[in-house]
Amino acid sequence: MAEVAPATEPLMAGHKAFVRVTSRRGDAAPKIRLFMASTVPSPRQALDVTRAHWQIENGLHWILDVHLREDLSRARKDNAPANVALLTRIARNILQLADNDKVPISHRIKKCAWNDDYLINTIAHMR
């Protein structure tokens, strides 16, 4: 469920509305998330934007954090963080395209480490 309230007094430049999204999963207590918006969306639009954000979070960042351990990276100096981030995203894209079937990313990573032929075939999918 989403509720949208136009901002009577903007908190910062571009602020137009407050959005409150209440989500429920099973028997767990509902979670309330508050957002600031630069437009005044309809409640349906607010839900669609929120779902789109979580699809990105679950589909991209979760893989980067859990399987490629991006959060544990010790690259902190100069251009190293940007370079490592680029390499992990390239690795993620290659791994996602490696198998047509439903092999988990964790298994694909292990197969690349254990099987040189699989690794070469995986890298060969790069364009």
Provide the token pair at 117: 């032929």
Average pLDDT on 77-84 reads 89
Distance between CA atoms of 82 and 20, rounded to whole angstroms? 34
Name the helix (H) or strand (E) containing 117.
helix 116-124
Strands (E), the chain: 2-6, 17-23, 31-37
DSSP state of 67: I
Strand arrangement of the beta sheet that strand 31-37 belongs to: 2-6, 17-23, 31-37
Distance between CA atoms of 3 and 94, rounded to whole angstroms? 40
At residue 26, does pLDDT exceed 80? yes
**Are the C-beta atoms of 108 and 94 separated by less than 8 Å?**
no
Per-residue pLDDT reduced to its tens digit, 95-113: 888 776 688 888 888 888 9
The β-bridge partners of 35 are 19
Per-residue pLDDT reduced to its tens digit, 4-17: 999 999 999 999 99
Provide the token pair at 38: 């630069």
Per-residue pLDDT reduced to its tens digit, 27-66: 999 999 999 999 999 999 999 998 888 887 777 777 887 7
Q: Which residues, including other chains, have CB under 8 Å from residue 92's CB and lie 6 or more apart? A: 60, 63, 64, 68, 105
Give pTM, 2 decimals.
Answer: 0.55
